Amino acid sequence: ALAYSLAGYLGLRRSEIGGLVLTDFDFEAGYVTVSAAISKNRRQASLPLHPTLKQSLLDYLRNRTFDAAKPFL
């Protein structure tokens, strides 16, 4: 369900979602950065996090441990 939220709120493609790592998210500033390496148009993009999506992501992370260099989902 979280992947669908990322796609819906941010307009990300499956390959872009699959390439996100934890360090791509800046929860304080409220942005996610999609690197040029995984972007369809090969340009880096900083996208604002909708408040509902931000809360869903924080809830998801609260109960999990992650390696910041590995894929997020």
pLDDT of residue 66: 66
Q: Which of 63, 67, 68, 69 is nearest to 2 (CA)?
A: 63
Q: Whole-prediction pTM value?
A: 0.83
Taking each helix axis from N to C end, the angle separating 2-10 and 51-62, rounded to the nearest 10 degrees, works out to 150
As averages over each run of 10 residues, the pLDDT of the chain (73 residues) reads 93 92 94 93 94 94 75 71
Burial class (CB in 10 A: 0-12, 13-18, 19+), 63: exposed
Instruction: Give the β-pairing of 25-26 and 31-34.
Output: antiparallel
Residue 62 is predicted with a pLDDT of: 87
Report residue 3 CA to chain centroid gap: 9
Check residue 71 and give its pLDDT: 74
